[in-house]
Amino acid sequence: MDTALLAKTAAAMVAKGKGILAADESSGTCEKRFQTVKVECTEENRRAYRQLLFGTPGIEQYLSGVILFDETARQKASDGSLFPQYLAKKGIIPGIKVDKGTVDIPFTRGEKVTEGLDGLSKRMEEYFKLGCRFAKWRAVITIGEGIPTHTCLYANAHVLARYAAACQAASIVPMIEPEVLLDGDHSIERCEEVTEQTLRATYAAIAAYNVVPEFLILKTSMVVSGKNNPRQAGVDEVAERTIRVLKRTVPAAQPGIVFLSGGQSDEAATAHLSAMAATKNLPWPLTFSYSRALQNPALNAWRGQASNVAAAQKAFYHRAHMNSLAAQGKWRPELEKQAA
């Protein structure tokens, strides 16, 4: 374990005004997104789309890192180098999604646990050689009648901790993502309760497996109302409840926290982040690790047409800029109107 490298990587991931692009969609997820703009989901189209994003002029001002899918980490950029090397040359840290997706937990109401621990240490060695310096593992927690159960929270917490230990042993910074899903009609109060339970279980397991918090990044969902709940909490309430949970559960020694957008609208994800980042005297920096909330405008502008690349890159650059301001607590709605 190269502690100097781990410390350097973790600090750079949460550098002021920068966030992380989640571009680690599987081929299946990519196909669903491409279908919305009627683009065929071929390997070359996926490569071209990632090139569009990564090659956006000046994007390194706002991105500290990019999470790659295995396929993308092995594809070549426009200059002939592999994407991890291409990103590194721009000063953007390459990361890699290493989990293998979710399966049902027996004897639960369809709750999930994430697979991928088998052979993980060897895969970590290979990803390190490819140039990846951080990794991501996602767990999903669903709120519903009688769930999440202790079984679900315990199973996912221990898998996250074992993954994080394997990362640090390979000198790769682990990003843990225990996502409490937005789906459902639950209240924001219930979301806060479950988010706290999830993070408490996760950090208990992190400690049990001797994972070093100084070399760990949390990617977390925000405390929000379920998307089908008639009372949608406002920006200030989301910020207040989310910060309260994080202060109760996340070690101050951790270098930073990044948020997932989790199905929120582009602007809502930006507004919530800005309100939280403006909070005084936080023990860690807060920033973004968005997928759809960064990519949606670019994908809609691109639509698979080479002639649309410049417009798509402009849209992507704008969203990254807005979220950079949000990570500093400086975003305002009128900035969106000015750009429009």
Residues with a catalytic annotation lie at: 177, 219
Amino acid at 46: R
Angle at 24 between CA 23 and CA 25, to 5 degrees: 100
Nearest to 161 by CA among 102, 121, 212: 212
Contact 143, 103 (CB under 8 A): no
Q: What are phi and psi for residue 277, nearest 5 degrees?
A: -65, -20
Strand partners, 286: 257
Cα 182 from Cα 234, distance rounded (Å): 15
Q: How many CA atoms lie within 13 A of 338 on its CB side?
A: 8
User: What SS3 class is residue 207?
Assistant: helix
What DSSP designation does 191 have?
Answer: H
Quickly list DSSP for 236-263.
Answer: HHHHHHHHHHHHHHS-TTS-EEEE--TT
Cα 50 from Cα 130, distance rounded (Å): 17
Contact 256, 246 (CB under 8 A): no
Cα 240 from Cα 11, distance rounded (Å): 25
Structure tokens at 234: 């406002």
Burial profile 14-29: b = 16 or more Cβ within 10 angstroms, e = fewer: bbebbbbbbbbbeeee
